[in-house]
Amino acid sequence: MAGLTRFHFGRNTLERLARFGYGARGAVYCVVGALAVLAAIGRGGQAGDSKSALRTVLGGPFGAWIVGLIALGLFGFALWRLIEGVTDADNRGSGLKGLVVRAAHVGSAAIYSGLAVTAASLALGLGRHRGSQDGMQDWTAWLLSKPLGLWLVGLIGLGVMGGGIAFLLKAWKGDVTERLALDAAACRWAKPIGRFGYAARGIAFLLIGGFFVAAAWHQASSEVKGLAGAFAALRAQPYGWVLLALVAAGHFAFGAFGLIQARFRRIDAPDLDKADDAVARVVRSVT
C-alpha cells in the first residue's frame, strides 16, 4: 500500500460537515417560515416548501453562490444523518425505539440528499421549474400502479404521520435541548424555540401523511401534497390565516433552532479513520 495517498476524513471533519449541515437546513426553514408568514398576513411571500424557498434565495443577491453553499451543507447533513443512523453515533441503542429513530435518520438522509441535489442544480442553472409536489405525485402514481402499491402508499402515509406524532411528543415533553451543550440559563430561551419548531413540523407531517393515506384510499396520486399543500390546507380552514401564520412561524422557529444546533449540538462523530485502517489491513492481507 506504499505510495497510496489517503484522504484524511476523520472525526473533526465529519463534525464540521454535520454542523454546516444543521446550519444549511436551518437557513432553508427560516426562509420557508418567513415567506409563509408573509403570505399569511398578506405581505407578499409564498407559502411553499423548501424547494420554493431555494428558488426565492436564488433570485436574490449572490443567489447562486448562497444556494450552492446551502447545497454543500445539505450534502453534509445527509451524510451525517446516514452515518448517525448506520453507526448509532448518538447511542440510540438497538431496541425497537432506537432502531426506529435510526431508520428515520437514514430516511432523512435520502430526503436531504434529494434536496441537496435540487439546490446544486439550481445553483448551476440546471434546476427544473416543476414543483416538488409534481414529483411526489409522479412517483406516487408509479407506486400505485404496482402490485401492493396501494398498501405501500398507505404505509408511507402512516409512517409520515408517525413522524409527526413523534415531533409533537418531543415538543410536548420538552426534551429538545437534551443534546445541546448549553447551560440551564441558555436552555431557558433555546427550549421554547425548539418546542415551537418541533410542534409546527409535527402538524405539517400529520397533514402530509394524511394526504398519502387519502391517495391510497382514493387510489389517486393527485391527493398527494407536500409542505405547500399542508400550508394551503391550513389556509383553507376558518381563521386559516391565523393557523397558517402560527405554523409558518413555527417553521421559522425550527430553522432558528437548527442554527442553534449548528453551534451547540453535541456531535459524537465516529472515528472513520479506524474503519479506514481496518479496510486497509484487509486489502494488504489479500494483495
- Count, residues in the chain: 287
Task: Quote the DSSP letter at residue 170.
Answer: H
C-alpha cell at 30: 427560516
Q: Which amino acid, 86?
A: V
Predicted model pTM: 0.86
The overall longest dimension of the chain from CA atoms, in Å, is: 71
Backbone region of residue 76 per phi and psi (left: phi > 0; alpha: psi in -120 to 50; beta: other values): alpha
Q: Percent of the chain at pLDDT above 70?
A: 87
Q: What is the pLDDT of residue 250?
A: 97
Q: In the structure, what pLDDT confidence band is assigned to residue 127 with cuts at 50, 70 and 90?
A: low
* Alpha carbon distance 223, 121 (integer Å): 27
Q: What is the pLDDT of residue 280?
A: 52
The full set of domain ranges for the chain reads: 11-281
Q: What is the pLDDT of residue 13?
A: 84
Rg of the chain (C-alpha set): 20
CA distances from 11 to 127, 165, 256 (A): 33, 33, 26
- Name the H helices within 145-183: 149-173
Q: What is the pLDDT of residues 72-118, one digit of tens each?
A: 999 999 999 999 888 888 888 888 888 988 999 999 999 999 999 99
Q: What is the pLDDT of residues 261-270, one digit of tens each?
A: 999 999 887 7
Mean pLDDT along residues 166-189: 91
